[in-house]
Amino acid sequence: MHYSNALASGTSTLQRNYQTAAGTNRLQSYAQTLQRPGSAAQNSNVTFSYDAAGALVKKGDNHLHYGADGRIAKAGEYADPADARAVSYVYNALGQRVLKSDARGAGQPITVQTLYAEDGIGSTVLGQYANQRSANSAAPAGQSDSTEIIYLPTASGPMPIAAEINGRLYAIHTDHLNTPRRLTSQQGQVAWQWLISGFGEVRPTTGDRGYGQTVSGPSYAQAVKFDLRYPGQVFDEETGLSYNLHRYYDAATGRYIQADPIGLEGGWNRFGYVSGNPLNFIDPKGLEAQICTYPGFNNDWPHVFTCVNGNCAGWYPSGYSGAKPKGPWAAMMNSNGAYVDDSDIVDKSYCGKVAGCDEKYIDQCVLDCRSGGNKPSKYNLFNENCMSTAQQCVQKCVVNSCKAKIWNFLR
């Protein structure tokens, strides 16, 4: 991989060579050379280690320790998970990370609590609150560091438009995916900027370093820390990873560090991020909507249904309710004569990702279809069945997701 960045003082280049394991194509390490204008080349090597499930447990000098729920519980430079000199994470019953505690330094651990919106998405951050105060904070005396974010509801999901960070107000400028790309102060100065790159691997630039402007000259603003990345992601400086509700995303490799918890429903590559196309798609939950085909217990009567974040349901004849059939139908009865839920047959089905212009919109649209907006008035085996209903729902959601995005762009 070769990356270059043109600056006023010259061009910075990053050359990175990857080494994969024979037979598995799993990333083992990469060696990189960073050349900045007027400076000597900086060489480094990063190695990777994985557990039996394929989850990343070590990247460079950083060890990742997982809890019983499969989420990262602790991260630090020590291999012993009992070592207290690490950053610990606490999650609530919804899987949301609500507390981060950094005990790597001397004295009291630095904590950050996170508050989320009750919008059904689960990863929309409303505020982050620390137990310490920065020296340059403009907040009232005695108030600790905090970041609070205001969103504008849109057809493609919540768009962050403003933030109050340590007592200072900033406007948030987003791209077509509602990804924050720039923060400007009340004086119109750029305070934070995250340039567009292939997988978000470029680090943001803060205002204290200045921004070259060919017309008006450099524009400076006070340094600001802002951790939102792709929709649904919060960046962690200590690991270089982004928390994405159900998983963690590594922008340096352009993939998740854990397999998709919904299995192959999320696609053939269980570690991939939005099918390798983050310039056009988002994954705020680390999951994906799917359309699935079940061949039947004896390959007799196939069944088609949809899944959103592991929640699966199809359309049935009269006498059936939701995802639980109530009447006799051979395709939905197992060998013991018991009826099964659509979620119980996912691992025996063929599933494909529902790809459109806005994944968040598609997820909600598919769920809305099940609530009555796309159900036929009467089941008909030949033209109003589970397959036609699922296909009509998916087609409508994909088309409308693109219409909404185009409309937002034109506005």
pLDDT value for 135? 87
pLDDT value for 400? 79
189, 309, 254: which is closest to 242 by C-alpha? 254
| HEC-encoded secondary structure of the chain | CEEEEEECCEEEEEEEEEEECCCCCCEEEEEEEEECCCCCCEEEEEEEEECCCCCEEEECCEEEEECCCCCEEEEECCCCCCCCCCEEEEECCCCCEEEEEECCCCCCCEEEEEEECCCCCCCCEEEEEECCCCCCCCCCCCCCCEEEEEEECCCCCCEEEEEEECCEEEEEEECCCCCEEEEECCCCCEEEECCCCCCCCCCCEEHHHCECCCCCCCECCCCCCCCECCCCCEEECCCCEEEECCEEEECCCCEECCCCCCHHHHCCCCCECHHHCCCCCCCCCCCCEEEEEECCCCCCCCEEEEEECCEEECCCCCCCECCECCCCCHHHECCCCCECCHHHCHHHCEEEECCCCCHHHHHHHHHHHHHHHCCCCCCECCCECHHHHHHHHHHHHHHHHHHHHHHHHHC
Model's pTM, two decimal places? 0.68
Name the more confident of 183 and 23.
Answer: 183
pLDDT value for 250? 94
Whether 123 and 116 have beta carbons less than 8 Å apart is answered as: yes
334 burial (CB, 10 Å; 0-12 / 13-18 / 19+) is exposed
Range with lowest mean pLDDT among 38-42, 70-74, 99-103, 320-324: 320-324
Choose the most confident range, by mean pLDDT, from 101-115, 295-309, 338-352.
Answer: 101-115
Alpha-carbon torsion, ordered 15, 18, 19, 24, to 10 deg: -170
Range with lowest mean pLDDT among 9-13, 182-186, 344-348: 344-348
Contacts of 373 by beta carbon, 8 Å cutoff, 6+ apart: none
Contacts of 128 by beta carbon, 8 Å cutoff, 6+ apart: 112, 113, 114, 115, 146, 147, 227
Mean pLDDT of 41-55: 90
**What percent of the chain lies above the pLDDT cut of 90?**
32
State how far the alpha carbon of 235 is from the alpha carbons of 201, 256, 270, 388, in Å.
11, 13, 21, 41
pLDDT, tens only, 287-328? 667 777 777 655 556 778 777 766 677 766 644 444 444 333
Domain spans of the chain, in order of start: 88-256, 288-410
pLDDT, tens only, 244-288? 988 999 998 899 999 887 666 566 678 888 777 777 777 776 666
Tell me which residue has tokens 């729902």: 393
pLDDT value for 322? 44
pLDDT band at 383 (very low <50, low <70, confident <90, very high): low
Contacts of 111 by beta carbon, 8 Å cutoff, 6+ apart: 99, 100, 101, 102, 130, 131
Using CA atoms, how far apart are residues 15 and 104, in angstroms rounded to an integer? Answer: 31
357 has pLDDT over 80:
no
pLDDT value for 330? 29
300, 307, 393: which is closest to 342 by C-alpha? 307
134 has pLDDT over 80:
yes
Q: The tokens of 77 are what?
A: 């430079």
Name the more confident of 388 and 8.
Answer: 388
pLDDT value for 149? 97
Residues in the chain: 411
pLDDT value for 332? 45
pLDDT value for 256? 93
Please state, rounded to an integer, the average pLDDT across all residues of the chain.
79
Whether 309 and 385 have beta carbons less than 8 Å apart is answered as: no
**Max Cα distance, the chain (Å):** 77
